[in-house]
Amino acid sequence: MPTLLEDKIIAIENGNILSPQGFKTAGVHAGLRYSKKDLGVIISEIPASSAAVYTTNQFQAAPLKVTQESIACEGILQAVVVNSACANACTGERGYKDALEMRTLTSEKFNIKENFVAVASTGVIGEYLDMDKITNGIQLLSPGNLNSDAIDFQTAILTTDIVMKNCGYTTIIDGKIITIGGAAKGSGMIHPNMATMLGFLTTDAAISSENLSAALKRVTDHTFNQITVDGDTSTNDMVLVMANGMAGNQPLTPEHPQWETFIKLLTKACEKLAKQIAMDGEGATKLVEVEVLGAKDQEEARFVAKQIIGSNLVKTAIFGADANWGRIIGAIGQTNAMINPHTVDIAIGPIQMLENSVPCVFSEDDARKYLHSPFIKILVDLHVGNGSGKAWGCDLSYDYVKINASYRS
């Protein structure tokens, strides 16, 4: 690992959910899916301050309700149990009881207080969990701290994902090495507000649940809330962070001189996972980043950026390598943000398309060549203020329709 300097954030090569001290994971095949791993757990060696943000979909699934109840008790978690294949959403009282039973079974298996266990599920909506398989699967869980254990967990939480999402970063706070790690799943139904996927973060930093919650909410506004794949919001999903304090730093608060260093550390991890989710959108071939400058304020900049990346017309043009900047200007004009119709600049990659709302002469061949790249950058300057913001998404391909037309079959 590179030499760490105070306040400097360093990416960990092959960093993952187990990069911080004191965490273990496992993933097993419980039989909810035909052959792939489908049940996983994260364990902290000691109780950890915890916080989460949740989907704004009005049909919040049973696991979210149970997790909210767990965190509300003491703000502490020591385990998170996760299943794929079945969302346990829109399943009424039976679904809620099943989520409670998952919590109880995990509590008993690992000798942890019930309210120290969170529950998460992902998969098909409106189907009941096979609790016999869940019960047997939980008994098979044997957490470890090897890289293979992290991979087992990451595999167990996937649905239509093509690749695993993980990250790890580290810094120095109070002279102590502070590390954060993450794992996530998300491929479709990604239009977070918050959160429409599953994201799990672990850190060995010392911080109270209250301050951790404030930090997470602040960071998600700039990261997970700024990704979109298809404009749909799921019933289940959340981002959850556990901080076990094993690094030995002084407890982090907004008054701590290195509070902003921790915010940067958390932001790096969340942004990395968010980009990985956007890149792995169902049927996606390109990661797209939109940066908006010169907005009235940061909130409007983020809103305009997300409006552009969420436009199906923009996304399909990028898939087809068509430098149709008119679709971008159309998306901007749909917003309620402060816009001066005579001062907008648009560039796709290095190619200026529009300057002061006047079309620029550019090479269609050069633009087409750039749009065949796996990473596309759209830069917009509104020239009405000092606000800036980014959003991430992907192109919209034929395969998106194929995948979602047969999701249950």
The 3-state secondary structure of 344-403 reads CEEEECCEEEEECCEECCCCHHHHHHHHCCCEEEEEEECCCCCEEEEEEEECCCHHHHHH
Distance, CA of 130 to CA of 153 (rounded, Å): 20
* Residue in 25, 155, 171, 196 annotated catalytic: 196
Whole-number Å distance between alpha carbons of 101 and 371: 50
- Supply the pLDDT for residue 376: 94
At the fourth CATH level, which superfamily is domain 10-279? L-amino peptidase D-ALA esterase/amidase (3.60.70.12)
Which of 230, 148, 191, 249 is CA-nearest to residue 56? 191
77, 67 contact by CB (below 8 A) = no
The pLDDT score that the predictor gives to residue 275 is 86
Q: Mapped to the 3 state alphabet, what secondary structure does 81-128 carry?
A: EEECCECCCCCHHHHHHHHHHHHHHHHHHHCCCHHHEEEEEECECCCC
In the chain, where the domains are located: 10-279, 287-405
Contact residues for 75 (Cβ-Cβ < 8 A; gap 6+): 49, 50, 51, 208, 209, 210, 213
pLDDT at 191: 47
SS3 (DSSP) at 8: coil
- Which pLDDT value is given to residue 281? 61
d(CA 395, CA 267): 24
For the domain covering 287-405, report its CATH number.
3.10.20.340
Spell out the per-residue pLDDT of the chain, length 409, in tens.
444 556 799 999 999 999 999 999 999 999 999 889 999 999 999 999 999 999 877 788 999 999 999 999 999 999 999 999 999 999 999 999 999 999 999 999 999 999 999 999 998 889 999 999 999 999 999 999 999 999 999 999 987 676 788 999 999 999 999 999 999 997 544 444 433 479 999 999 999 999 999 999 999 988 888 886 544 556 787 899 999 999 999 999 999 999 999 999 999 999 999 888 877 666 678 889 999 999 999 999 999 999 999 888 998 999 999 999 999 999 999 999 999 999 999 999 999 999 999 999 999 999 999 999 999 999 999 999 999 999 988 888 776 667 666 655 4
Q: Supply 107's token pair.
A: 């509590």
Q: Is 366 left (phi over 0), alpha (psi -120 to 50) or beta?
A: alpha
Catalytic, 203? Answer no
Q: Are strands 358-359 and 238-243 parallel, antiparallel or unpaired?
A: unpaired
> pTM for the full model?
0.84
For β-strands 351-355 and 238-243, DSSP reports them as: unpaired
User: How is residue 297 written in tokens?
Assistant: 């304020």
Among residues 182, 280, 188, 180, the alpha carbon closest in space to that of 239 is found at 182
CA 311 to chain CA centroid, Å, is 20
Q: Cβ(195)–Cβ(53) under 8 Å?
A: yes
DSSP 243-255: E--TT-PPPB-TT
Query: For position 124, what pLDDT does the model report?
Result: 85
